[in-house]
Amino acid sequence: MISALRSNASKSSYIAASGYSAFSNGISCSEYNSVIFIFSLSDDQSSIFSFYRDVKRLGRKTRIGGAQREKLWTIFDYVWNTISSRKLTTWPSVFSSLHANSAPAIKYQNIIIDEAQDISVSELKFVARLVGDKTDGLFFAGDLGQRIFRQPFSWKSLGVDVRGRSNTLKINYRTSHQIRQQADRLLPKEISDLDENEESRKATISLFNSLPPQILVVDDFDDETSIISDWINQQISGGVPVSEIGIFVRSEDELPRAKAAIIDAGQNPFKITDKFEENTSAISFGTMHLAKGLEFRSVAVMACDEDILPQQERLERVTDASDLAEVYETERHLLYVACTRAREHLLVTGVEPGSEFLEDLEN
């Protein structure tokens, strides 16, 4: 939203006088998304400004001092006022309101949170308050290697300290040994969060075997369509039901390529959406983000091209070195998530020269 509002905001004489124009869209969007939107837990602009003025921008490489923050705050304030005037809100604001107004009246003995690697600051504060001071009231399950929606932050700073109280599960029930082992090459052998909790993938085992994944870099789009089409028919001939076959791509822009391959195979395509509708008679296709939580006997991850994974648009928006590292990390995690939706059969394709991540996946 901040980028979309910039042109309107720049028309304001107050905005122009503030010196905001000295900052690029990239810097302002990065600062808003990575600091204010994530960590400010109030709808009151004065308290948000006080937070932003004093907060330590941990991990941020680009230095922004007090005077610069005051200038940037002009546009941030404009964003908040615009959201309010349009009677809109944000998810952090929703959970902040629940935390302040509803949580005191709602009490639970125990809460289980799955996919905890993608919990937000406001969500964590909300659920923590629901169990009060009970030391064993929260149970988290998650995988740091599958963090694709949220930036990391310190849980300890919010009063949730899991250091010395966590365990790494070592048995993989979904994915074959061969697929899991190859997908793990996309990630470090050990992953740490900002509270120095360490997650190791050493000694992880799967309960069954399969053929090794296929990783192919092809000449052009038509070649990829033909290969995916043939692969789909091979899976069906091998006894895999069409509803147990999934095709995943990086973003909405690549969905037509997946759909074309399914139609070329003579099958009906079923688009995966966030409504999670049941599919029993077609081949599922969707984005890597929507692959989370799903599993199929056979999965093809296609369109892993050089300018698509990592996504070129995200790279071009980067203005801070820490943001660049974050982009590369989450893009790797996306490919990891997509690959590990496969139980028995995995095919990964890209058009020449292919994503740089494919080399890591192979070697």
Give the position of tokens 């391959």: 261
Model confidence at 324: pLDDT above 90: no
pLDDT, tens digit, 9 for 90 and up, residues 75-109: 777 877 888 889 888 888 888 888 888 777 787 88
Cα–Cα distance measured from residue 85 to residue 105, given in angstroms and rounded to the nearest whole number:
30
Give the position of tokens 């659920």: 127
The DSSP bridge partners found for residue 192 are 198
pLDDT, tens digit, 9 for 90 and up, residues 284-300: 999 999 998 899 999 99
The DSSP call for residue 211 is P
Pair of tokens at residue 109 = 């003995």
Cα–Cα distance measured from residue 27 to residue 147, given in angstroms and rounded to the nearest whole number:
23
Average pLDDT, the chain: 83
Residue 273 CB-density burial (10 A; 0-12 exposed, 13-18 middle, 19+ buried): exposed
Residue 112 main-chain phi, psi, to 5 deg: -105, 125
Structural domains in the chain plus CATH codes: 2-88 (no CATH), 92-168 (no CATH), 205-362 (3.40.50.300)
| Contact residues for 238 (Cβ-Cβ < 8 A; gap 6+) | none
In which band, very low, low, confident or very high, does the pLDDT at 23 lie, cut at 50, 70 and 90? low
pLDDT at 66: 64
pLDDT, tens digit, 9 for 90 and up, residues 176-211: 999 999 999 998 888 777 777 777 778 889 999 999
pLDDT at 9: 45
pTM metric for this prediction: 0.79
- The CA-CA-CA angle for residues 78, 80, 81, to 5°, reads 65
CA 149 → CA 24, 218, 274, distances in Å? 24, 30, 14
pLDDT, tens digit, 9 for 90 and up, residues 209-267: 999 999 999 999 999 999 999 999 999 999 999 999 999 999 999 999 999 999 999 99
pLDDT, tens digit, 9 for 90 and up, residues 145-164: 888 777 777 888 788 888 88
In which band, very low, low, confident or very high, does the pLDDT at 62 lie, cut at 50, 70 and 90? low
Please tell me which residue, 206 or 168, carries the higher pLDDT value.
Answer: 206
Cα–Cα distance measured from residue 246 to residue 179, given in angstroms and rounded to the nearest whole number:
15
Is the backbone peptide bond immediately before 188 cis, with ω within 30 degrees of 0?
A: no
| Contact residues for 275 (Cβ-Cβ < 8 A; gap 6+) | none
SS3 of the chain: helix, strand, coil, percent, to 5: 50, 15, 40
- The rounded percent of the chain whose pLDDT value lies above 70 is 81
Model confidence at 32: pLDDT above 70: no
